[in-house]
């Protein structure tokens, strides 16, 4: 039965119809089996389980003799705890896939009382026939999300299930009270976690010549020395140092700060603080070989700048290749220096016509000295390629500079023309220059409106961005943020909604960032179809869904 249709009964509720539609768009079929694919990396000491354990113990007593089952799932819709009235109910639910670690998101199990409450962010009843999968229609359930009292993020879901065609009307108030009790304990645990971090900070903060900072999920403490030594761009680097530390683990490294100064950083992960870390940062004067925050991205950009300096004094043709918006035009200006630049753009050929465009090009090529820049050379029609190719080795006229997309994306004939340029400079995309992003963003703000600056949280969100539009996209975002700002300090709330990326992304290690980017690229190539994206990546659909949530990918 499709959403909104009837089979002798009333049409399904609108919220159920929408859930069915979401399930279908995720590639789930009503007759599909359910691949439980239980996760093996569950954190069974998570703050959710610590807060919920006493409540689950009480529920176990309260549902005795009722034939009911209570499931607790985390924010990724993975079951992390179960309470059964009897072994018969337990065996029945396990046959349906309700085991520890199995994921019941709508994109894997269709409409159900774990995945659907996450989507609608409120409690909802799912009666037997309202389930999307045929195999679940013998169950009736009520699911209620557990929201963190401070952040208002979904921390988990409580699901009360019975083997019956309709759910009992008392399920809702019962679970609402249980969820409220867990939320209260989450708040108490959050306060205790913050207090542990504060205590650790206070034990060392009086040190006058050492910058001391304590950074938790929702807290930042620092002594006066931090204000003089660390820039807001350094906070993201400190979070990155702590990302791979285990509770009570310590690590000491040499680090180059955003100011260019060298410092020794000691990072101590504080147990019981949900990832809170204490940092001791000491400025050093002796020569060090620093550990750069993002060596790969910085190296790519440095190589491009070095190549520009190397070929600046030459007269040979140059190809400047890179993604759209990555700074190819700026690279042409840097290459030209004080020499005049004659601009021509292949993207205008459909507007002015091939003949008129070629005439203008040949007229400019007859000039003396300077640089003749042919932008968007990857858009040149086949009929123009021989003419442009013949101009590349020309002597006496302007120096030829072509700009185009990445060489691997070019048609063979265009790639052959680019290969005729004796020099080629690859301009890296912004995602490979994340280490420079704070400086790039501040320079852009100085051009847009001098006096503006970004807060640490805003910078972390920008660092976590994907930036398919590269520098051009960043400038648009900063211009809009500057226009709508509330003060000269641009915070996370001032950024457009789409760019308020979770700070969890900023703490991903290099391998996880690469995995996240591969998933994003596959989803884009497959038009958002997760089934096709999973096949392209060579992983199961359930694994893809799990990694999407774990890596905070927005489909």
Lowest-confidence range among 255-264, 298-307, 316-325? Answer: 298-307
CATH number of 14-189: 3.30.450.40
pLDDT confidence band for 301 (50 / 70 / 90)? low
Domain 205-283 has CATH 3.40.1840: yes
Instruction: Report pTM.
Output: 0.47
For residue 298, what pLDDT is reported?
A: 45
pLDDT, tens digit (0-9, with 9 covering 90-100), for 280-293: 998 776 444 444 44
pLDDT above 80 (res 218): no
CA distances from 510 to 17, 294, 507, 522 (A): 41, 9, 9, 18
What's the topology of domain 510-550? Arc Repressor Mutant, subunit A (1.10.10)
- pLDDT-derived band at 34 (thresholds 50, 70, 90) equals confident
Instruction: Tell me the pLDDT band of 295, cut-offs 50, 70 and 90.
Output: very low
d(CA 208, CA 266): 16
What are the C-alpha distances in Å from 324 to residues 53, 398, 404, 418, 504?
52, 25, 8, 17, 28
- Residue 7 pLDDT exceeds 50: no
Determine the topology of domain 296-428 in CATH. Rossmann fold (3.40.50)
CA–CA distance, 300 with 517 (Å, rounded to integer): 18
Provide CATH 3.30.450.40 ranges for the chain. Answer: 14-189
Q: What does the pLDDT read at residue 213?
A: 87
Average pLDDT, the chain: 84
User: Taking 70 as the threshold, does the pLDDT of residue 501 lie above it?
Assistant: no
409: β partners: none
Which CATH class, in words, describes the domain spanning 431-506?
mainly alpha
Residue 505's pLDDT band (boundaries 50, 70, 90)?
low
pLDDT, tens digit (0-9, with 9 covering 90-100), for 432-445:
887 788 888 988 99
> Which pLDDT score, from 0 to 100, does residue 518 have?
82
CA distances from 368 to 215, 318, 418, 517 (A): 60, 18, 23, 46
pLDDT at 294: 40
Dist CA 67 CA 87 (whole Å)? 10
What angle separates helix 541-550 from helix 530-537, to the nearest 10 degrees? 100
Give the 3-state DSSP-derived string for 136-181, with helices as H, strands as E and coil as C. Answer: HCCCEEEEEEEECCCCCCEEEEEEEEECCCCCCCCHHHHHHHHHHH
Q: Residues spanned by CATH 3.40.50.300 within the chain?
A: 296-428
Contacts (Cβ under 8 Å, ≥6 apart) of 467? 429, 430, 431, 473, 474
Stretch(es) of the chain classified as CATH 3.40.1840: 205-283
pLDDT of residue 292: 44
**How many other C-beta atoms lie within 10 A of the C-beta of residue 98?**
26
Task: Locate CATH 1.10.8.60 in the chain.
Answer: 431-506
Segments of the chain assigned to CATH 1.10.10.60: 510-550
Distance CA(221)–CA(403), nearest Å, equals 47
pLDDT in tens, 349-399: 999 999 999 999 999 998 878 899 999 999 999 999 999 999 998 777 899
């Amino acid at each position: 039965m499709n959403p909104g249709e009837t089979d002798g009964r009333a049409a399904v509720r609108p919220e159920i119809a929408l859930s069915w539609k979401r399930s279908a768009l995720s590639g789930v079929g009503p007759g599909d089996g359910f691949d439980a694919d239980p996760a093996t990396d569950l954190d069974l000491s998570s703050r959710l389980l610590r807060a919920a354990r006493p409540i689950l113990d009480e529920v176990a007593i309260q549902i005795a003799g009722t034939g009911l089952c209570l499931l607790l799932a985390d924010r990724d819709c993975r079951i992390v705890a179960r309470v059964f009235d009897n072994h018969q109910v337990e065996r029945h639910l396990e046959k349906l896939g309700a085991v520890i670690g199995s994921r019941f998101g709508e994109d894997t199990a269709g409409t159900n009382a774990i995945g659907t409450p996450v989507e609608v962010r409120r409690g909802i009843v799912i009666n037997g026939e309202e389930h999307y999968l045929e195999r679940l229609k013998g169950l009736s359930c009520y699911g209620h999300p557990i929201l963190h009292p401070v952040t208002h993020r979904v921390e988990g879901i409580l699901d009360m299930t019975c083997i019956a065609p309709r759910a009992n009307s008392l399920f809702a108030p019962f679970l609402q009270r249980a969820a409220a009790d867990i939320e209260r304990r989450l708040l108490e645990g959050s306060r205790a976690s913050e207090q542990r971090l504060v205590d650790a900070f206070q034990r060392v903060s009086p040190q006058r010549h050492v910058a001391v900072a304590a950074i938790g999920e929702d807290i930042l403490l620092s002594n006066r020395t931090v204000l003089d030594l660390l820039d807001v761009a350094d906070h993201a680097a400190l979070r990155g140092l702590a990302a791979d530390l285990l509770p009570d683990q310590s690590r000491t490294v040499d680090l180059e700060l955003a100011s260019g100064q060298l410092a020794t950083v000691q990072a101590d992960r504080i147990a019981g603080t949900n990832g809170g870390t204490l940092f001791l940062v000491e400025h050093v004067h002796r020569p060090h070989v620093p550990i750069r925050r993002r060596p790969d991205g910085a190296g790519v950009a440095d190589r491009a700048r070095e190549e520009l300096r190397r070929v600046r004094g030459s007269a040979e043709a140059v190809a400047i290749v890179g993604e759209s918006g990555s700074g190819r035009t700026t690279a042409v200006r840097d290459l030209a220096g004080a020499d005049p630049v004659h601009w021509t753009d292949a993207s205008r050929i459909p507007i002015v016509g091939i003949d008129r465009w070629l005439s203008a090009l040949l007229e400019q090529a007859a000039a003396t000295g300077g640089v003749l820049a042919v932008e968007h050379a990857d858009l040149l029609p086949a009929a123009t390629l021989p003419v442009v190719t013949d101009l590349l080795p020309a002597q006496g006229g302007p120096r030829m500079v072509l700009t185009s997309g990445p060489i691997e994306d070019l048609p063979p004939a265009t790639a052959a023309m680019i290969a005729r340029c004796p020099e080629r400079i690859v301009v890296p995309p912004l995602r490979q220059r994340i280490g420079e992003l704070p400086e790039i963003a501040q320079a852009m703000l100085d051009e847009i409106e001098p006096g503006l600056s970004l807060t640490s949280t805003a910078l972390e969100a920008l660092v976590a961005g994907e930036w398919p539009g590269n520098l051009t996209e960043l400038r648009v975002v900063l211009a809009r943020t500057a226009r709508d700002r509330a003060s000269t300090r641009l915070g996370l709330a001032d950024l457009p909604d789409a760019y308020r990326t979770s700070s969890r992304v900023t703490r991903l290690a290099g391998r996880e960032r690469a995995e996240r980017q591969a998933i994003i690229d596959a989803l884009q190539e497959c038009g958002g179809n997760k089934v096709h994206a999973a096949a392209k990546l060579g992983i199961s659909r359930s694994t893809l869904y799990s990694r999407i949530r774990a890596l905070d990918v927005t489909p």
